[in-house]
């Protein structure tokens, strides 16, 4: 199992995984046209991989992506008297069903945690599902209170 950053050659697999991830948790979405989604997601991923703002970490087994975690860096406004580092927003954490409960996702997360430390990012924020809270806790994350939200109407 190799853990690495995604490349342009991975886009087709990443698009399919995003589709499958969504359908797994909301089957009503499979009524939408895959081709329209594929085009939009492909464009997003092409730009994200080049951007330096998004980092898509993958676990690969003989050319097949088995797990991924997306990280977006959020820049902070400088503050006098201290060096300002970005924080990381973690999203789209997914492992193919047949590869779950084998430690693969934890290996990807551990790699990301080391990368976060090496790059002095201030912290990582993730909104876990109820089912994934244990996964994050066993990998060193702490459950915090919910942020405030505003939904414009």
117 within a domain of the structure (yes/no): yes
Structure confidence by residue, pLDDT tens digits, 2-38: 999 999 999 999 999 999 999 998 888 888 889 999 9
Domain extent at residue 116: 2-138
114 within a domain of the structure (yes/no): yes
Contact predicate 53/34, CB 8 Å? no
Q: Report whether pLDDT(58) > 80.
A: yes
**Gap between the Cα atoms of 104 and 96, Å rounded:** 10
145 within a domain of the structure (yes/no): no
147 within a domain of the structure (yes/no): no
The fraction of the chain above a pLDDT of 90, given in percent, is 82
38 alpha-carbon distance from chain centroid: 18
DSSP state letters, 65-118? EEEEEEEEEE----BTTB----EEEEEEEEE-GGGTTSSHHHHHHHHHHHHHHH
Q: Which pTM value belongs to this model? A: 0.92
Of the pLDDT bands very low, low, confident and very high (cuts 50, 70, 90), residue 39 is very high
What CATH number did the domain enclosing 122 receive? Answer: 3.40.630.30
56 within a domain of the structure (yes/no): yes
Q: Report whether pLDDT(126) > 90.
A: yes
96 within a domain of the structure (yes/no): yes
pLDDT reported for residue 11: 98
152 within a domain of the structure (yes/no): no
Average pLDDT over residues 72-82: 93
Q: Report whether pLDDT(149) > 90.
A: no
Contact predicate 66/96, CB 8 Å? yes
pLDDT reported for residue 147: 78
| Helix or strand (DSSP H, E) at 46 | helix 34-51
Q: In total, how many domains does the chain have?
A: 1
144 within a domain of the structure (yes/no): no
pLDDT reported for residue 150: 81
Average pLDDT over residues 108-136: 94
3-state secondary structure of 131: helix
pLDDT reported for residue 148: 80
Cβ contacts of 145 within 8 Å, gap of 6 or more: none
The fraction of the chain above a pLDDT of 70, given in percent, is 100
Contact predicate 43/51, CB 8 Å? no
């Amino acid at each position: 199992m190799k853990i690495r950053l995604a490349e342009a050659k991975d886009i087709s697999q990443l698009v399919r995984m995003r589709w499958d991830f969504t359908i797994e948790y909301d089957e009503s979405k499979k009524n939408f046209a895959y081709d329209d989604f594929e085009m939009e997601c492909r464009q997003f991923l092409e730009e994200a991989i080049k951007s330096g703002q998004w980092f898509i970490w993958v676990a690969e087994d003989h050319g097949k992506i088995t797990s991924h975690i997306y990280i977006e860096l959020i820049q902070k406004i400088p503050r006098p008297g201290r060096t300002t580092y970005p924080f990381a927003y973690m999203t789209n954490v997914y492992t193919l069903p047949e590869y779950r409960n084998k430690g693969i996702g934890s290996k990807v997360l551990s790699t990301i945690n080391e990368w976060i430390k090496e790059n002095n990012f201030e912290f990582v924020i993730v909104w876990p599902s109820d089912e994934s809270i244990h996964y994050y806790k066993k990998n060193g994350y702490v459950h915090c209170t919910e942020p405030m939200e505003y939904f414009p109407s």
